[in-house]
Structure 1
Amino acid sequence: MASFPTYYALLVLVLLLGAPSLGALAGGGYQFNILDKLLQETNLQSVIDKHLATSPRGLTAFSPTDAAFRKPPPGLLNRLTFAQKTQIGLFHLVPKYYSLMDLTKTTLPLQTFSPGKTLKLAFRQNKLFVLSGSMTTPVAYAIQNKYPVANFAINDVLVPPGMRF
């Protein structure tokens, strides 16, 4: 984790330049365009920006690829309400920085930005899996793994428990 002065240096950069989008952190967002659109539509990018600017805890994100968003029936994302889209976005964000190594050792559920909703992790056969309650998906790769943001690509969209379409 960054030292106290390093945190404030990062805070000044975020305030001056704005926090990069999760898609931008993925190298231009070329396979995270749908996620970027969801974050902008729901104003969640500003939630991420504010969190990074005000919390020394950092952020961990599980970012579905465009291919992940194309798995559900065509047009489903367009039919979701604003509240459902927001809930899905919040469910992919953890308000604390966890490195990949931290995640492989974590046994407690991770509290997401979605109130009362947690993600669990499992490390099997040298692969990290994210468990949402209704599905299990492997972490494909680390997009960014440096404090204050850990961003991991996943090939499925995590659906919060109890959400119906």
Structure 2
Amino acid sequence: MASATLSLLLLTLNIQLLLLLSPQTKAQTPSAPAPSPAGPVNLTGILDKNGQYTTFIRLLNETQQDTQIESQLNSSTEGMTVFAPTDNAFNNLKTGALNNLSPQQKVELVQYHVTPKYYSLSDLTTVSNPVPTQASDSDGVWGLNFSSKANQVNVSTGIVTTQINNPLRQQFPLAVYQLDVVLLPEELFGAKAPGSAPSPAKTPSSSSSTKTNSTAAASPTSAKAGAGGRNAVGWGLALALGLFCMGALS
């Protein structure tokens, strides 16, 4: 009797185990929710969250580069890197530096702060200079130069050099780095090359030439005048001599 009861108990336990392990039971087990897909990258949202990029955000909006960057991020496989100057960086510019720029020059200034490729800080220590920016063309101008020492990365334009500080975002496809200085491209703010507008080459002094030519031109006239004077004197003497002889004969 005890043996039959034990067998019945074991059978019941086995049935319960089978039910727990059945596919239907597994299907009823709640699973962890799948991660939702990441939304589009919002550059101005990243900047606005940090609260000290009002001027840069205004320039992005004014030049419509915020829309251009976000559109390019959605279609690019290279990613992008943005170097964002703080409000203090813009405040330290010379008075009127921004207001004196044309709309096209403002576009170029904003584009100069963006590279069409994603760079982590470690990437920037090994790049080949100059690094093209959104403002670069086929001639390779409007580039940035990077250097590193220890753990510090610097960026130079040829006019200003500054450290790359706090990374606001460092995740592909977009890296955003804080700058305490506005990157001033030589193409907009640099002194003109010495030979860019050469003054006309000096020719031999016009006054000297005039004097020389005048002298040369006057010389034949003087010679003729002298010869004419001598001839007139000779004819006068001959005429006087002839008259004298005629008087003597008479």
Shift of 1:29: 4.2
CA distance in 2 between counterparts of 1:109 and 1:25 reads 27
CA RMSD of aligned residues (A): 1.8
CA distance in 1 between counterparts of 2:110 and 2:77 reads 21
Tell me which residue corresponds to 1:110.
131
Deviations 1:117-145 (A, max 9, x none): 21110002431100112211111211111
CA distance in 1 between counterparts of 2:135 and 2:179 reads 18
Of Structure 1 and Structure 2, which has the larger fraction of its residues in helix? 2
2:46 alignment partner, one of 19, 25, 49: 25
CA distance in 1 between counterparts of 2:90 and 2:79 reads 26
Asked whether the equivalents of residues 114 and 134 of structure 2 are also in contact (C-alpha less than 8 Å), the reply is: yes
Asked whether the equivalents of residues 93 and 112 of structure 1 are also in contact (C-alpha less than 8 Å), the reply is: yes
1:53 alignment partner, one of 56, 70, 74: 74
CA distance in 1 between counterparts of 2:152 and 2:189 reads 29
Aligned residue pair count: 150
Say yes or no: does 1:101 pair with 2:126: no
1:79 alignment partner, one of 97, 100, 123: 100
TM-score, normalising length: structure 2: 0.56
Asked whether the equivalents of residues 48 and 54 of structure 2 are also in contact (C-alpha less than 8 Å), the reply is: no
Shift of 1:96: 0.5
Tell me which residue corresponds to 1:156.
181
**Unaligned segments of structure 2, at least 5 residues:** 1-36, 191-250
Asked whether the equivalents of residues 141 and 153 of structure 1 are also in contact (C-alpha less than 8 Å), the reply is: yes
User: What is the one-letter code of the residue matched to 1:130?
Assistant: V
User: What is the one-letter code of the residue matched to 1:32?
Assistant: Y
User: What is the one-letter code of the residue matched to 2:111?
Assistant: L
Structure number with greater Rg is 2
Say yes or no: does 1:128 pair with 2:149: no
Which secondary structure state, in structure 1, belongs to the residue aligned with residue 77 of structure 2? coil
Deviations 1:31-77 (A, max 9, x none): 01110000000011111011101111110111101110101123432
**Unaligned segments of structure 1, at least 5 residues:** 1-8
Tell me which residue corresponds to 1:147.
172
